[in-house]
Structure 1
Amino acid sequence: MITLSNVSKSFRTSKGTVHAIQDVSLEVKLGEIFGVIGYSGAGKSTLIRCVNLLEAPTSGSVVIQGKEVTNLPAEELMQVRRKIGMIFQGFNLLKTATVYDNIAIPLRLTDVDKNEIDGRVTKYLRIVGLEDKHDAYPSQLSGGQKQRVAIARALAQEPELLLSDEATSALDPETTESILELLLKINAELGITIMLITHEMNVIQKICDRVAVMENGRVIELGKTVDIYAQAKHPTTRRFVNSTYHKELPPSLLQELKETGPVVRLSFVGGSTSKPVLAQVSALFPVSPNILAGGIIQLKQEKIGTLVVHLNGDPEETKKAIAYLEDQGVKVEGVEVGDE
């Protein structure tokens, strides 16, 4: 669906050149929900704007549905953009227009027939659950309802790709949950590919099939969401994953515990989440497992759990216990000071 190859974007400022994106390559597959996560300044907003050429890359290529779009003439680029919907954090609704007109005006500007406009507005207001807000004004809507209008406006263009630029970051947790459920519904029922950016790991957890983690304009880790949760490699990625579990170990405690045995992170995926492996470890080996932190969460399609465990025992016996855990399908990773 989308292929970015060695995409870079630089801006010249009074203080010098800013390299917002540096040599980013990734692919978004047809029909998936692909997330890009990073802290403020990571380059994720610039990246998503390069997808629909709101920002022209300094170098590299953007291919959408097999077509290179970075150097298209203006008219051809406009045709490509009509197949790309976009929703923003700030909603961008016209304050003096009704909900109906906020959705209809962009369609009028592209010469869609009036009867077709009526049909689309009705259809997509129903999909986002706002069919009763047809004549309301933005000032009469909650934040979540405004975002639903913005989503309906994007869908009314009947795009093949939907881009989401921090669409939930201005919303409270309950409203965020409902918007994420709506995006899942749109992806499943309409078959629209979704690419979203966020700084919130719970968004990735809830709806994304795959994720790219960005830092300083580069993609530092990329993979299936379940794999990123189970075995994050980069320290920044581990911080994002750990923020979901809310687990932090004081460095002094970690150092003290390691004197009597290793501290390990155990990751359980799917069926392994229900296995009583720690009870089995203590029964089979002269090792005392001490659970320090952890939890189980539901990803889009799978359950995944993590435990941080101190294995108190003889070094040779703890090695045997770790080998047993791995044989049971549990991913085991040593925890060092600064990891948590």
Structure 2
Amino acid sequence: MIRLDNISKSYVTNRSSIDALKGVTLEVKKGEIFGVIGYSGAGKSTLIRCVNLLEKPSKGKVFVDGLELTSLSSKKLLASRRKIGMIFQGFNLLKTATVYDNIAIPLRLTGVSKSEIGARVDKYLEIVGLSDKKDAYPSQLSGGQKQRVAIARALSNEPSVLLSDEATSALDPDTTEAILELLLKINDELGITILLITHEMHVIQKVCDRVAVMENGEVVEQGLTKDVFTSPSHPTTKKFVNSIFNHQLTNELLENLGDNGEIVSLKFLGHSSKDPALAVVSKKFDVYPNILSGNITQLKEHPFGSLLVHIKGEESEVQRAIQYLKEQNIQVEGAGHHVKNNKRIS
């Protein structure tokens, strides 16, 4: 549905050139929710604006629904953009227009008939849950309601692709959750492909089927969300994953553990979280697992958990226990380090 082929974008100033994107290649499949995550300055916003050519790439090609946008004339590009909806962090609503007119005005400008405009406004306000706010003004709405109006406006052109540029970063946690549920609903019921950028792990966890991680204008890792975040390879990806599970141990706790055994970090996905692996380990081997810290979160449809465990016992038995855990598809990290050398494992 969306394909970026070796996209680069440079901004030239009087004294220097800034490379915002460096040879980015990725593909978003039809009907999926694809997330791009990265820290500030990674190039996320430039990337998403290159998809509908609000920013024209310096090099590379952009394809949307089989059409190469980078080869189109201005007139044809304008027509193609109507099938690419976009929502922003700042809502971009007209303050002096009602909710109805905020959705209707762009449709009028593209020549949609009055009766069709009315039907579309009603349809998409109902989808976003704001049918009763048709005559309200933006100043009378909460932040979440404003974003819902912006989403209805983006949907009113009945696009095949929806771009989300940090659409939840200005919202409180509860409102963010509601907007993410709405995006899931839109994707499921309307079949619209969604490409979103964010710096928030929760957004990726909640809605994304696949994810790309960006740093310094490059995609450093990409794939299925559950694969990328359960087996991260790049330091930036690991940093994002570690932000979910931040296991902190005090020196006092470490001293109380004694000298026997190892501290290991166990990560598990899906069905592994339901298996009593530690209970089995304590019976199968001469070791005593002690859970020091733990958390379970959700990667869209898959539970993803992390435990920090002190496995007490003789070295040979500890290593046998660790090998058994690995055989149960549990990721084991930190093995080989004595308890006194473990002050923090994430």
Q: TM-score range by the shorter chain?
A: over 0.9
The one-letter amino acid paired with 1:102 is N
* C-alpha displacement of 1:40: 0.7
Provide Cα deviations, 1:31-86, integer angstroms capped at 9, x if missing partner. 00001111111110000001111111111221112222112111121122111000
Secondary structure, in 3 states, of the residue corresponding to 2:71?
coil
Segment of structure 1 superposing worse, 184-193 or 52-61: 52-61
The one-letter amino acid paired with 1:69 is L
The one-letter amino acid paired with 1:138 is P
Change (3 A) 1:317 1:29: same
Residues paired across the two proteins, number: 340
The one-letter amino acid paired with 1:118 is G
Secondary structure, in 3 states, of the residue corresponding to 1:70?
helix
**Residues 165-184 of structure 1 correspond to what in structure 2 (within 5 A)?**
165-184=165-184
How far apart, CA to CA, are the structure 2 residues paired with 1:78 and 1:44? 23
The one-letter amino acid paired with 2:163 is L
For residue 292 of structure 1, what is the aligned residue in structure 2?
292
For residue 150 of structure 2, what is the aligned residue in structure 1?
150
Asked if residue 86 in structure 1 is aligned to residue 90 in structure 2, the reply is no
- Kindly indicate whether the alpha-carbon contact (under 8 Å) linking 1:235 and 1:339 is maintained by their aligned counterparts in 2: no
Q: TM-score, normalised by structure 2?
A: 0.92
Asked if residue 13 in structure 1 is aligned to residue 7 in structure 2, the reply is no
Q: TM-score, normalised by structure 1?
A: 0.94
* C-alpha displacement of 1:334: 3.0
* C-alpha displacement of 1:219: 1.1
Change (3 A) 1:261 1:153: same
Provide Cα deviations, 1:239-268, integer angstroms capped at 9, x if missing partner. 212222343456998899897444332222
**Residues 82-161 of structure 1 correspond to what in structure 2 (within 5 A)?**
82-161=82-161
Secondary structure, in 3 states, of the residue corresponding to 1:203?
helix
- Kindly indicate whether the alpha-carbon contact (under 8 Å) linking 2:187 and 2:193 is maintained by their aligned counterparts in 1: yes
| Unmatched runs of 5 consecutive residues or more in structure 1 | none
How far apart, CA to CA, are the structure 2 residues paired with 1:195 and 1:256? 49
- Kindly indicate whether the alpha-carbon contact (under 8 Å) linking 2:33 and 2:195 is maintained by their aligned counterparts in 1: yes
The one-letter amino acid paired with 1:306 is S
The one-letter amino acid paired with 1:114 is K
How far apart, CA to CA, are the structure 1 residues paired with 2:122 and 2:273? 44
For residue 301 of structure 1, what is the aligned residue in structure 2?
301
* C-alpha displacement of 1:145: 0.4
Change (3 A) 1:310 1:83: same
Change (3 A) 1:328 1:173: same
How far apart, CA to CA, are the structure 2 residues paired with 1:258 and 1:302? 36
Asked if residue 185 in structure 1 is aligned to residue 185 in structure 2, the reply is yes
**Superposed CA RMSD:** 2.2
Asked if residue 220 in structure 1 is aligned to residue 216 in structure 2, the reply is no
Asked if residue 32 in structure 1 is aligned to residue 39 in structure 2, the reply is no
Asked if residue 208 in structure 1 is aligned to residue 208 in structure 2, the reply is yes
Identity %: 64
| Unmatched runs of 5 consecutive residues or more in structure 2 | none
- Kindly indicate whether the alpha-carbon contact (under 8 Å) linking 2:61 and 2:70 is maintained by their aligned counterparts in 1: yes
**Residues 214-253 of structure 1 correspond to what in structure 2 (within 5 A)?**
214-249=214-249
Provide Cα deviations, 1:161-186, integer angstroms capped at 9, x if missing partner. 00000000000001101000100000
- Kindly indicate whether the alpha-carbon contact (under 8 Å) linking 1:295 and 1:305 is maintained by their aligned counterparts in 2: yes
- Kindly indicate whether the alpha-carbon contact (under 8 Å) linking 1:88 and 1:164 is maintained by their aligned counterparts in 2: yes
